[in-house]
């Protein structure tokens, strides 16, 4: 083993291992050491959460890291996210409003067994020349004249080495963040308990109703990340390639106190009370449970992520918000894109001061944009219309801007970032404001959304603008075209917001569907009058939005 590296990565979890692969793919001559404290192989199935990927993170794994063949051979294809609402019908899955794709989505995603994946990734990165030291716990690091010296312990020995760069990817241990006192608390106390259970669980088997089963081809419901939802919580079911199933509860402690489900027996009592159909279908399998884990108040932030002193923080070690929509791998992908770009340029001798500044600002802007998607929203989780509205809005912004920018390398292109985020009245600024506005509006609308709905199947691909945004993820644009495309998408989002608002406002105040509305000042706290600067009706979007409106009139 050498004593001097270009890059030493602390932590060989998803973030650390994928970063090492990304760097090696770009430059095979870089010397990289990954220090992972776990000794030996990770367990199949019962290892970590982070099993469901969505489009952005999947693009990173499949295309940026070239793991497409591996994922197709060794992990499961995912049939999108699937949600069961209508908490009024908790005993009858076939009466609940269901939202999810019927057909396999054109842009793929995966269900990943994290134990198998991390074991396999170690083999993949070693084959590329990355050194991975298992049973190696980082205990100290100090800056030196040219980089850093680091100490780790292995087999009771202390080993000292040096490197130009260090990257902290120690997950919740947050080694560097703690050392540099960069931790920032987040006012979002959501907590979770989860377990893996032997064998496959297919919610298709939970009803004898053939009409209901036939909405989706046999076997496809099981491949989705299935969510059961009511006020203050959601439950996940994720299938794993090892033939097991991951099940979790995620809840707002203000509505479901953590100590009501933080032990296995309590979790089953909690199911019995809150999701009896889940209880009924799991209770006989209790003996087959492989593990049980909990995490309280997992959202956290960090004051700084990248430094001119050649350190960086990636993955859950830096920022984490909420697992609803499965965005954990997305955050890793974005963070690694920034860190990889900085390291590669620095090692080539480029000045990276400006990039550090721009990337950090962009990353925090991204994170800030995600916070209102979750914060204070769990009280809406039991409202069927509000949640259908919200999920479609959240997907629209995620596919049309967040993911599109990533798949087109926009986040590391200074020209693109400058045009979209640094100019007066730029599209990025509008996008942020519009999302804040919509999240506030959905909260207001939740107060009026009091009707129960049933027997409704809704597919995101029934809605043309969502279909276009989703398909658009895979289109490649030049940097200039990308800026234009994002600007155009923000204009479409403005129209979507306005058409959604008009339906809500008509229901609450009886206002006209021809009302001209400024999307940046919409509210349901009072009746809005015609605004001559407002947007005129876009008939196409009006019709698309109507597909996801359940109220009569
Ligand atoms: C309830 C819940 C559900 C989630 N569901 C999803 C999901 O469905 N999809 C998704 O994409 N994401 C999900 N996530 C997020 C996902 O779990 C994380 O994004 C991901 O696991 C973070 O990976 P990481 O590599 O940063 O950290 P980790 O996977 O924790 O890896 C960190 C590694 O560092 C090692 N380490 C720690 N300290 C040291 C040290 N001092 N020296 C050496 N090594 C060290 C650890 O052993 C570990 O292997 C979920 C999160 C939660 C809380």
Q: Are 60 and 14 in contact (CB under 8 A)?
A: no
Give Cβ neighbours of residue 531 (< 8 Å, ≥ 6 apart): 516, 517, 518, 521
Atom of ligand 1 nearest to the CA of 138: 42
- CA of 16, closest atom in ligand 1: 25
CA distance readout (Å), 355 to 124, 314, 450: 30, 16, 49
384-397 and 464-472 helices, crossing angle to 10°: 30
- Ligand 1 mutation pick, 171, 193, 267, max ligand atoms within 8 A of CB: 171
Residue 265 sits in the same domain as residue 194: yes
> In this structure, are 502 and 535 located in the same domain?
yes
Tell whether 393 and 337 lie within a shared domain. no
- C-alpha span between 118 and 132 (Å, rounded): 12
Residues 171, 306 within the same domain: yes
The protein residue whose alpha carbon is closest to atom 15 in ligand 1 is 328
Place of tokens 């087109």: 408
Measured in angstroms, how far is the CA atom of residue 384 from the centroid of ligand 1?
A: 32
Q: How far is the CA of 107 from the centre of ligand 1 (A)?
A: 25
Rounded distance, CA 121 to CA 203, Å? 31
Mark which of 249, 274, 296 sits at the end of a domain. 296
Contact 538, 494 (CB under 8 A): no
CATH of the domain at 359: 3.50.50.60
Q: Are residues 21 and 46 in the same domain?
A: yes
Out of 250, 279, 296, a domain closes at 296
CB within 8 Å of 521: residues ≥ 6 apart: 437, 528, 531
Supply 381's token pair: 């989780």
CA 217 to each of CA 125, 225, 544: distance values in angstroms, whole numbers, following the listed order: 37, 16, 25
Q: What string of pLDDT tens digits covers the 553 residues of the chain?
A: 778 999 999 999 999 999 999 999 999 999 999 999 999 999 887 889 999 999 999 999 999 999 999 999 999 999 999 999 999 999 999 999 999 999 888 899 999 999 999 999 999 999 999 999 999 999 999 999 989 999 999 999 999 999 999 999 999 999 999 999 999 999 999 999 999 999 999 999 999 999 999 999 888 999 999 999 999 999 999 999 999 999 999 999 999 999 999 999 999 999 999 999 999 999 999 999 999 999 999 999 999 999 999 999 999 999 999 999 999 999 999 999 999 999 999 999 999 999 999 999 999 999 999 999 999 999 999 999 999 999 999 999 999 999 999 999 999 999 999 999 988 889 999 999 999 999 999 999 999 999 999 999 999 999 999 999 999 999 999 999 999 999 999 999 999 999 999 999 999 999 999 999 999 999 999 999 888 889 999 999 999 999 999 998 6
For residues 195 and 263, give the distance between their C-alpha atoms in angstroms, rounded to a whole number: 11
Closest C-alpha to ligand 1, atom 41: 138
> How far is the CA of 398 from the CAs of 103, 177, 370, 477, in angstroms?
20, 28, 10, 18
Query: Of all protein residues, whose CA lies closest to atom 50 belonging to ligand 1?
Result: 50
If one residue of 50, 189, 335 were mutated to test the ligand 1 pocket, choosing by the most ligand atoms within 8 A of its CB, it would be: 50
Residues 107 and 118 in one domain: no
Atom of ligand 1 nearest to the CA of 320: 19
Domain that holds residue 356: 1-73+112-184+300-375
CA of 79 to the centre of ligand 1 (A): 23
- Tell me which of 346, 375, 404 is where a domain ends: 375
- d(C-alpha 176, C-alpha 140), whole Å: 9
Whether residue 20 contacts residue 118, with contact meaning beta carbons closer than 8 Å, is answered with no
Q: Calculate the CA 401 to chain-centre distance.
A: 14
Residue whose CB lies within 8 A of the most ligand 1 atoms, among 12, 13, 80, for a mutation test:
13
Look up tokens 């600007």; give the residue.
487
Q: Do 496 and 356 sit in the same domain of this protein?
A: no
Nearest-atom number in ligand 1 for the CA of 52 is 8
Are the C-beta atoms of 223 and 78 separated by less than 8 Å?
A: yes
CA distances from 182 to 152, 227, 303, 310, 492 (A): 22, 34, 5, 16, 38
Pocket of ligand 1 (CB under 6 A): 10-16, 35-38, 48-53, 57, 137-138, 169-173, 175, 192, 248, 250, 295, 298, 315-317, 323, 326, 328-329, 332
What lies within 8 Å, CB to CB, of 104 at 6+ separation is 77, 79, 220
Q: Which of 18, 24, 105 is nearest to 67 (CA)?
A: 18
Q: To test ligand 1's pocket by mutation, which of 322, 328, 398 has the most ligand atoms within 8 angstroms of CB? A: 328
First to last CA, the chain: 71
Whether 393 and 534 map to the same domain: the answer is yes
Give the burial string for 90-100 (b: 16+ CB within 10 Å, else e): bebbbbbbbbb
Residue nearest to atom 1 of ligand 1 (CA): 192
CB within 8 A of 72, min separation 6: which ones? none
DSSP states along 4-31 = EEEEEEE--SHHHHHHHHHHHHH-TT--
Give the number of other Cβ atoms within 10 Å of residue 538's Cβ: 18
User: What phi and psi, each to the nearest 5 degrees, are found at residue 314?
Assistant: -135, 165
Atom of ligand 1 nearest to the CA of 13: 31
Q: For ligand 1, what atom is nearest to the CA of residue 316?
A: 26
Tell me the backbone φ, ψ of residue 32, rounded to 5 degrees: -135, 135
136 CA: nearest ligand 1 atom: 43
Give the CATH number, domain containing residue 101.
3.30.9
Number of domain units in the chain: 3
**pLDDT for the residue numbered 45:** 76
Examine the domain organization and report whether 363 and 398 are in the same domain. no
Paired with 279 in beta bridges are: none
Radius of gyration (Cα) for the chain, nearest Å? 24
Which pLDDT score is estimated for 91?
95
CA of 20 to the centre of ligand 1 (A): 16
Atom of ligand 1 nearest to the CA of 152: 42
pTM over 0.75: yes
Most ligand 1 atoms within 8 A of CB, residue of 10, 40, 49, 246 to mutate: 49
What per-residue string of b and e applies to 22-50 under the rule 16 or more CB within 10 Å gives b? bbbeeeeebbbbbbbbeeeebbbbbbbbb
Judge if 180 and 224 occupy the same domain.
no
The verdict on 81 and 57 lying in the same domain is: no
If asked whether residues 410 and 545 sit together in one domain, one would say: yes
**Could you give the residue ranges of the DSSP H alpha helices within 43-201?**
55-59, 68-74, 114-127, 175-179
Among 59, 316, 332, which residue has the most ligand 1 atoms within 8 Å of its CB, making it the best to mutate? 316
């Amino acid at each position: 083993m050498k004593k001097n590296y270009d890059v030493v990565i602390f932590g060989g979890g998803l973030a650390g291992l994928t970063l090492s692969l990304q760097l090696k793919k770009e430059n095979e001559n870089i010397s990289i050491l990954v220090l992972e404290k776990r000794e030996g192989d990770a367990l199949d199935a019962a290892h970590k959460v982070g099993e469901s990927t969505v489009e952005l993170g999947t693009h990173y794994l499949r295309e940026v890291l070239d793991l497409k063949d591996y994922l197709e051979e060794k992990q499961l294809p995912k049939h999108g996210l699937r949600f069961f609402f209508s908490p009024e019908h908790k005993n009858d899955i076939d009466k609940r409003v269901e939202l999810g794709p019927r057909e396999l989505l054109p842009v793929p995603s995966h269900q990943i067994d994290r134990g198998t994946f991390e074991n396999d990734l170690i083999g993949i990165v070693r084959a590329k020349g990355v050194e991975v030291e298992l049973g190696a716990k980082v205990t100290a690091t100090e800056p030196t004249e040219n980089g850093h010296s680091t100490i780790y312990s292995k087999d009771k020995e202390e080993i000292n080495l040096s490197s130009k760069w260090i990257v902290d990817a120690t997950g919740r241990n947050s080694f560097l963040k703690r050392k540099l006192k960069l931790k920032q608390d987040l006012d979002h106390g959501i907590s979770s308990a989860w377990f893996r259970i032997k064998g496959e669980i297919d919610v298709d088997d939970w009803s004898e109703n053939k009409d209901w089963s036939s909405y989706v081809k046999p076997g496809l419901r099981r491949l989705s990340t299935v969510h059961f939802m009511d006020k203050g919580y959601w439950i996940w079911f994720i299938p794993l390639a090892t033939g097991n199933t991951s099940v979790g509860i995620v809840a707002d402690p203000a509505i479901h106190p953590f100590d009501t489900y933080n032990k296995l027996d309590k979790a089953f009592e909690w199911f019995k009370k809150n999701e009896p159909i889940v209880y009924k279908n799991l209770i006989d399998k209790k003996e087959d449970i492989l593990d049980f884990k909990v995490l309280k108040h997992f959202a956290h932030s960090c004051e700084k992520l990248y430094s001119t002193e050649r350190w960086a923080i990636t993955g859950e070690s830096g920022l984490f918000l909420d697992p609803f929509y499965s965005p954990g791998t997305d955050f890793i992908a974005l963070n690694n894109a920034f860190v990889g770009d900085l390291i590669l340029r620095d090692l080539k001798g480029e000045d990276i001061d400006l990039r550090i500044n721009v990337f950090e600002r962009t990353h925090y802007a991204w994170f800030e944009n995600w916070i209102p998607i979750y914060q204070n929203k769990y009280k809406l989780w039991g409202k069927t219309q509000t949640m259908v509205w919200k999920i479609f809005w959240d997907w629209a912004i995620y596919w049309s801007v967040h993911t599109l920018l990533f798949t087109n390398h926009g986040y590391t292109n200074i020209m693109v970032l400058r045009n979209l985020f640094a100019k007066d009245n730029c599209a990025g600024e509008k996008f942020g404001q519009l999302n804040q506005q919509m999240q506030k509006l959905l909260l207001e609308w939740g107060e009026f959304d009091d009707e129960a709905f049933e027997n409704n199947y809704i597919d995101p691909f029934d809605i043309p603008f969502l279909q276009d945004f989703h398909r658009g993820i895979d289109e490649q644009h030049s940097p200039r075209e990308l800026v234009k495309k994002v600007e155009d998408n923000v204009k479409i989002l403005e129209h979507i917001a306005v058409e959604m608002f008009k339906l809500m406002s008509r229901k609450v105040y009886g206002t006209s569907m021809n009302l001209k509305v400024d999307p940046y000042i919409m509210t349901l706290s009072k009746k809005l009058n015609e605004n001559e600067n407002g947007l005129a009706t876009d008939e196409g979007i009006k019709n698309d939005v109507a597909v996801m409106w359940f109220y009569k009139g």
